[in-house]
Protein backbone atom coordinates (compact mmCIF):
# COMPACT_ATOMS: atom_id res chain seq x y z
CA UNK A 1 0.00 0.00 0.00
CA UNK A 2 1.48 3.32 -1.10
CA UNK A 3 0.32 6.79 -0.16
CA UNK A 4 0.13 8.83 -3.36
CA UNK A 5 -1.56 12.02 -2.07
CA UNK A 6 -1.41 13.72 1.31
CA UNK A 7 -3.12 17.06 1.85
CA UNK A 8 -4.06 18.94 5.00
CA UNK A 9 -7.83 19.48 5.09
CA UNK A 10 -10.01 20.86 7.91
CA UNK A 11 -7.41 20.08 10.53
CA UNK A 12 -6.93 16.50 9.33
CA UNK A 13 -5.57 14.89 6.17
CA UNK A 14 -7.11 13.97 2.85
CA UNK A 15 -4.98 11.10 1.59
CA UNK A 16 -5.08 8.82 -1.45
CA UNK A 17 -3.56 5.33 -1.41
CA UNK A 18 -2.78 2.78 -4.10
CA UNK A 19 -2.66 -0.94 -3.41
CA UNK A 20 -2.71 -4.27 -5.23
CA UNK A 21 -6.18 -5.73 -4.74
CA UNK A 22 -6.26 -9.53 -4.50
CA UNK A 23 -10.01 -9.54 -5.04
CA UNK A 24 -9.90 -7.48 -8.22
CA UNK A 25 -6.52 -8.61 -9.53
CA UNK A 26 -5.32 -5.08 -10.25
CA UNK A 27 -3.96 -1.94 -8.62
CA UNK A 28 -6.66 0.19 -7.00
CA UNK A 29 -6.77 3.73 -5.65
CA UNK A 30 -8.86 4.71 -2.66
CA UNK A 31 -9.08 7.93 -0.68
CA UNK A 32 -9.08 8.24 3.11
CA UNK A 33 -9.97 11.36 5.04
CA UNK A 34 -8.52 11.26 8.55
CA UNK A 35 -10.14 13.87 10.80
CA UNK A 36 -8.08 15.62 13.47
CA UNK A 37 -9.37 13.23 16.17
CA UNK A 38 -7.77 10.30 14.33
CA UNK A 39 -4.50 11.32 15.90
CA UNK A 40 -5.69 10.33 19.37
CA UNK A 41 -8.52 7.80 18.88
CA UNK A 42 -9.70 5.00 16.67
CA UNK A 43 -12.72 6.33 14.78
CA UNK A 44 -15.69 4.84 12.90
CA UNK A 45 -15.69 4.80 9.10
CA UNK A 46 -18.17 6.05 6.51
CA UNK A 47 -17.64 4.38 3.12
CA UNK A 48 -18.67 6.41 0.07
CA UNK A 49 -19.38 4.68 -3.25
CA UNK A 50 -19.29 6.95 -6.29
CA UNK A 51 -21.32 6.80 -9.48
CA UNK A 52 -20.72 6.01 -13.13
CA UNK A 53 -17.49 7.41 -14.65
CA UNK A 54 -16.13 8.44 -11.24
CA UNK A 55 -12.96 7.40 -9.49
CA UNK A 56 -11.63 8.02 -5.96
CA UNK A 57 -11.25 11.77 -6.68
CA UNK A 58 -14.78 13.03 -7.35
CA UNK A 59 -16.10 12.81 -3.81
CA UNK A 60 -13.01 14.24 -2.14
CA UNK A 61 -12.69 17.24 -4.46
CA UNK A 62 -16.37 18.19 -4.86
CA UNK A 63 -18.56 17.07 -1.95
CA UNK A 64 -17.03 19.16 0.84
CA UNK A 65 -17.60 16.28 3.26
CA UNK A 66 -14.28 16.72 5.10
CA UNK A 67 -15.69 19.58 7.17
CA UNK A 68 -18.45 17.38 8.58
CA UNK A 69 -16.20 14.36 9.06
CA UNK A 70 -13.82 16.57 11.06
CA UNK A 71 -16.72 17.89 13.13
CA UNK A 72 -18.16 14.44 13.89
CA UNK A 73 -14.94 12.43 14.15
CA UNK A 74 -15.67 10.07 11.28
CA UNK A 75 -13.12 8.65 8.81
CA UNK A 76 -14.25 8.84 5.16
CA UNK A 77 -13.16 6.16 2.68
CA UNK A 78 -13.97 6.53 -1.03
CA UNK A 79 -12.75 3.79 -3.39
CA UNK A 80 -12.59 3.79 -7.17
CA UNK A 81 -15.74 2.54 -8.94
CA UNK A 82 -14.30 -0.49 -10.75
CA UNK A 83 -11.15 -2.44 -11.42
CA UNK A 84 -8.84 -0.55 -13.77
CA UNK A 85 -5.89 -1.04 -16.09
CA UNK A 86 -4.78 -2.41 -19.42
CA UNK A 87 -5.27 -6.04 -18.42
CA UNK A 88 -8.85 -5.40 -17.26
CA UNK A 89 -11.85 -5.86 -19.55
CA UNK A 90 -13.51 -2.68 -20.73
CA UNK A 91 -16.20 -1.25 -22.97
CA UNK A 92 -16.18 2.07 -24.82
CA UNK A 93 -19.52 3.10 -23.25
CA UNK A 94 -19.45 5.18 -20.05
CA UNK A 95 -21.95 2.86 -18.36
CA UNK A 96 -20.18 -0.49 -18.73
CA UNK A 97 -16.71 -1.75 -17.81
CA UNK A 98 -14.08 0.44 -16.20
CA UNK A 99 -15.72 3.21 -14.18
CA UNK A 100 -18.97 1.23 -14.05
CA UNK A 101 -18.43 -1.74 -11.73
CA UNK A 102 -21.96 -1.64 -10.25
CA UNK A 103 -20.70 -3.05 -6.93
CA UNK A 104 -21.42 -6.67 -7.84
CA UNK A 105 -19.46 -9.88 -8.49
CA UNK A 106 -19.65 -10.53 -12.23
CA UNK A 107 -20.28 -14.10 -13.38
CA UNK A 108 -20.11 -13.57 -17.16
CA UNK A 109 -17.13 -13.23 -19.48
CA UNK A 110 -15.09 -11.11 -20.07
CA UNK A 111 -15.94 -9.53 -16.70
CA UNK A 112 -15.84 -12.38 -14.17
CA UNK A 113 -12.10 -12.30 -13.51
CA UNK A 114 -11.74 -8.69 -12.32
CA UNK A 115 -15.22 -7.24 -11.78
CA UNK A 116 -15.73 -8.26 -8.15
CA UNK A 117 -16.44 -4.87 -6.59
CA UNK A 118 -18.99 -6.38 -4.21
CA UNK A 119 -16.37 -8.54 -2.49
CA UNK A 120 -13.86 -5.70 -2.61
CA UNK A 121 -16.16 -3.24 -0.83
CA UNK A 122 -17.63 -5.73 1.64
CA UNK A 123 -14.45 -7.60 2.57
CA UNK A 124 -11.03 -6.59 1.25
CA UNK A 125 -11.28 -2.83 1.62
CA UNK A 126 -12.64 -2.72 5.21
CA UNK A 127 -10.09 -5.36 6.28
CA UNK A 128 -7.34 -3.15 4.92
CA UNK A 129 -8.78 0.03 6.45
CA UNK A 130 -9.27 -1.56 9.86
CA UNK A 131 -5.76 -3.04 9.84
CA UNK A 132 -3.81 -0.04 8.54
CA UNK A 133 -5.69 3.04 9.80
CA UNK A 134 -6.95 4.21 13.22
CA UNK A 135 -10.40 2.78 12.41
CA UNK A 136 -12.88 0.94 14.58
CA UNK A 137 -15.13 -1.78 13.16
CA UNK A 138 -18.13 0.57 13.25
CA UNK A 139 -19.01 1.09 9.57
CA UNK A 140 -21.53 3.18 7.69
CA UNK A 141 -22.07 3.28 3.94
CA UNK A 142 -23.41 5.80 1.46
CA UNK A 143 -23.04 6.65 -2.20
CA UNK A 144 -24.36 8.40 -5.27
CA UNK A 145 -26.35 7.06 -8.23
CA UNK A 146 -24.67 3.71 -9.14
CA UNK A 147 -22.92 4.10 -5.77
CA UNK A 148 -26.25 4.71 -4.03
CA UNK A 149 -27.35 1.38 -5.50
CA UNK A 150 -24.11 -0.11 -4.17
CA UNK A 151 -24.60 1.29 -0.67
CA UNK A 152 -28.23 0.16 -0.37
CA UNK A 153 -27.66 -3.35 -1.74
CA UNK A 154 -24.48 -3.97 0.24
CA UNK A 155 -26.10 -2.87 3.50
CA UNK A 156 -29.26 -4.90 2.84
CA UNK A 157 -27.22 -8.02 2.02
CA UNK A 158 -24.98 -7.83 5.08
CA UNK A 159 -27.00 -7.67 8.29
CA UNK A 160 -24.95 -6.49 11.25
CA UNK A 161 -22.07 -5.25 9.10
CA UNK A 162 -23.10 -1.56 8.87
CA UNK A 163 -24.53 0.73 11.52
CA UNK A 164 -26.27 2.88 8.94
CA UNK A 165 -26.85 3.36 5.23
CA UNK A 166 -27.88 6.28 3.06
CA UNK A 167 -27.88 7.18 -0.60
CA UNK A 168 -28.03 10.16 -2.93
CA UNK A 169 -29.99 9.75 -6.19
CA UNK A 170 -29.63 5.94 -6.08
CA UNK A 171 -30.52 3.46 -8.80
CA UNK A 172 -33.00 1.70 -6.51
CA UNK A 173 -34.26 -0.88 -9.01
CA UNK A 174 -31.50 -1.67 -11.50
CA UNK A 175 -33.46 -4.64 -12.85
CA UNK A 176 -36.14 -2.26 -14.10
CA UNK A 177 -34.11 0.59 -15.69
CA UNK A 178 -31.79 0.92 -18.72
CA UNK A 179 -28.51 1.44 -16.82
CA UNK A 180 -29.12 -1.62 -14.67
CA UNK A 181 -30.52 -3.83 -17.42
CA UNK A 182 -27.48 -3.17 -19.61
CA UNK A 183 -24.94 -3.73 -16.82
CA UNK A 184 -26.65 -6.76 -15.26
CA UNK A 185 -27.07 -8.46 -18.64
CA UNK A 186 -23.35 -8.01 -19.29
CA UNK A 187 -22.06 -8.85 -15.81
CA UNK A 188 -24.66 -11.39 -14.60
CA UNK A 189 -26.20 -12.80 -17.78
CA UNK A 190 -29.71 -12.99 -19.18
CA UNK A 191 -31.34 -14.74 -16.21
CA UNK A 192 -33.19 -12.03 -14.33
CA UNK A 193 -33.49 -14.19 -11.22
CA UNK A 194 -29.75 -13.65 -10.65
CA UNK A 195 -30.26 -9.89 -10.82
CA UNK A 196 -32.43 -9.88 -7.69
CA UNK A 197 -29.33 -10.41 -5.54
CA UNK A 198 -28.18 -6.89 -6.48
CA UNK A 199 -31.43 -4.96 -6.59
CA UNK A 200 -32.41 -2.85 -3.55
CA UNK A 201 -36.14 -3.01 -4.32
CA UNK A 202 -35.93 -6.81 -4.38
CA UNK A 203 -33.64 -7.10 -1.37
CA UNK A 204 -35.76 -4.93 0.89
CA UNK A 205 -38.58 -7.49 0.58
CA UNK A 206 -36.62 -10.09 2.49
CA UNK A 207 -34.09 -8.05 4.51
CA UNK A 208 -33.58 -9.73 7.89
CA UNK A 209 -32.18 -6.53 9.41
CA UNK A 210 -34.38 -3.45 9.25
CA UNK A 211 -31.66 -0.82 8.94
CA UNK A 212 -33.44 2.50 8.24
CA UNK A 213 -32.75 3.88 4.76
CA UNK A 214 -32.05 7.59 4.23
CA UNK A 215 -32.39 8.59 0.58
CA UNK A 216 -31.85 12.08 -0.85
CA UNK A 217 -33.25 12.75 -4.31
CA UNK A 218 -33.35 15.93 -6.41
CA UNK A 219 -36.58 16.64 -8.26
CA UNK A 220 -34.60 18.39 -11.00
CA UNK A 221 -32.51 15.26 -11.54
CA UNK A 222 -32.28 14.51 -15.25
CA UNK A 223 -32.29 10.75 -14.53
CA UNK A 224 -35.17 10.72 -12.04
CA UNK A 225 -37.88 9.23 -14.24
CA UNK A 226 -35.77 7.01 -16.46
CA UNK A 227 -33.07 5.49 -14.23
CA UNK A 228 -33.74 6.22 -10.55
CA UNK A 229 -37.47 5.81 -9.80
CA UNK A 230 -37.36 6.26 -6.02
CA UNK A 231 -41.10 5.57 -5.76
CA UNK A 232 -40.30 1.91 -6.42
CA UNK A 233 -38.21 1.84 -3.24
CA UNK A 234 -40.91 3.72 -1.35
CA UNK A 235 -43.51 1.13 -2.41
CA UNK A 236 -41.24 -1.80 -1.55
CA UNK A 237 -40.46 -0.36 1.89
CA UNK A 238 -44.11 0.46 2.57
CA UNK A 239 -45.11 -3.10 1.64
CA UNK A 240 -42.90 -4.68 4.30
CA UNK A 241 -42.77 -1.87 6.83
CA UNK A 242 -39.09 -1.07 6.23
CA UNK A 243 -38.24 2.43 7.49
CA UNK A 244 -37.36 4.82 4.65
CA UNK A 245 -36.66 8.54 4.96
CA UNK A 246 -36.99 9.76 1.37
CA UNK A 247 -36.21 13.46 0.93
CA UNK A 248 -37.33 14.71 -2.45
CA UNK A 249 -35.59 18.07 -2.96
CA UNK A 250 -37.13 20.62 -5.24
CA UNK A 251 -34.79 22.01 -7.91
CA UNK A 252 -31.72 19.85 -7.27
CA UNK A 253 -30.10 17.90 -10.09
CA UNK A 254 -27.83 14.81 -10.29
CA UNK A 255 -24.58 16.71 -9.70
CA UNK A 256 -22.16 17.13 -6.81
CA UNK A 257 -23.80 20.51 -6.09
CA UNK A 258 -26.72 18.43 -4.81
CA UNK A 259 -24.48 16.09 -2.80
CA UNK A 260 -22.54 19.02 -1.30
CA UNK A 261 -25.79 20.67 -0.20
CA UNK A 262 -26.94 17.69 1.89
CA UNK A 263 -23.82 15.65 2.70
CA UNK A 264 -23.53 17.46 6.05
CA UNK A 265 -26.93 16.14 7.13
CA UNK A 266 -25.98 12.63 6.01
CA UNK A 267 -22.63 12.63 7.82
CA UNK A 268 -24.36 13.85 11.00
CA UNK A 269 -26.98 11.11 10.64
CA UNK A 270 -24.37 8.38 10.13
CA UNK A 271 -22.27 9.72 13.01
CA UNK A 272 -25.22 9.30 15.34
CA UNK A 273 -25.68 5.65 14.34
CA UNK A 274 -21.93 5.04 14.49
CA UNK A 275 -21.98 6.26 18.09
CA UNK A 276 -24.68 3.69 18.81
CA UNK A 277 -27.69 6.01 18.77
CA UNK A 278 -30.80 5.28 16.73
CA UNK A 279 -30.82 7.67 13.78
CA UNK A 280 -34.10 8.47 11.99
CA UNK A 281 -35.57 10.93 11.31
CA UNK A 282 -33.26 13.16 9.34
CA UNK A 283 -35.90 15.49 7.94
CA UNK A 284 -39.53 14.53 7.86
CA UNK A 285 -40.63 12.09 5.16
CA UNK A 286 -43.38 14.61 4.42
CA UNK A 287 -40.91 17.34 3.46
CA UNK A 288 -40.88 15.66 0.04
CA UNK A 289 -41.70 18.43 -2.31
CA UNK A 290 -41.02 21.73 -0.66
CA UNK A 291 -37.60 21.58 0.93
CA UNK A 292 -34.37 23.18 0.14
CA UNK A 293 -34.77 25.62 -2.65
CA UNK A 294 -37.11 28.09 -4.27
With CB under 8 A as the contact rule, the residue among 12, 97, 99, 174 that binds a copy of itself is 12
With CB under 8 A as the contact rule, the residue among 1, 93, 240, 257 that binds a copy of itself is 257
Residue 9 bears catalytic tag = no
With CB under 8 A as the contact rule, the residue among 11, 85, 87, 178 that binds a copy of itself is 11
Catalytic residue among 145, 169, 175, 261: 145
Question: Which of 36/280 has CB closer to a copy of itself?
Answer: 36
Catalytic residue among 221, 242, 261, 282: 221
Which window, 8-16, 98-106, 141-149, 222-230, contacts a copy of itself (CB under 8 A)? 8-16
Among 236, 250, 224, 93, CA closest to 170? 224
* 29-68: contacts with a copy of itself (CB under 8 A): 36, 39, 61-62, 64, 66-67
Cα distance between residue 267 and residue 269, in whole Å: 5
What's the maximum distance between 2 C-alpha atoms anywhere in the chain? 51
Classified as helix, coil or strand, 18 is strand
Told to check if 255 binds a copy of itself by CB under 8 A, we report yes
Cα distance between residue 169 and residue 149, in whole Å: 9
Half-sphere exposure of 58 (CA within 13 A, CB side): 19
Which window, 156-164, 172-180, 196-204, 243-251, contacts a copy of itself (CB under 8 A)? 243-251
Classified as helix, coil or strand, 184 is helix
Instruction: Give min distance, CB of 33 to a copy of itself, in A.
Output: 10
**In the sheet that 244-249 helps form, which strands lie side by side, from edge to edge?**
2-9, 12-21, 26-34, 75-79, 43-49, 135-143, 164-168, 213-218, 244-249
Structural element, H or E, at residue 128: helix 125-132
Catalytic residues: 145, 221, 254
Instruction: Give the footprint of a copy of itself on this chain (CB under 8 A).
Output: 7-14, 36, 39, 61-62, 64, 66-67, 218, 220, 249-253, 255-258, 260-261, 264, 292-294
Amino acid sequence: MERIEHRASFGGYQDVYRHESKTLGCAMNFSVYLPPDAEKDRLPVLYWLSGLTCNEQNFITKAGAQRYAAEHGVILVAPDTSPRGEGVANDPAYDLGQGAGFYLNATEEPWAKHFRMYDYIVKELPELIEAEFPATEARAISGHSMGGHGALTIALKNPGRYKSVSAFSPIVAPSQVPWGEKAFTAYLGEDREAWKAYDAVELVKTASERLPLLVEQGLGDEFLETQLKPHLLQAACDAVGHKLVLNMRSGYDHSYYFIASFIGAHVAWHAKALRGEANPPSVSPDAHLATGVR
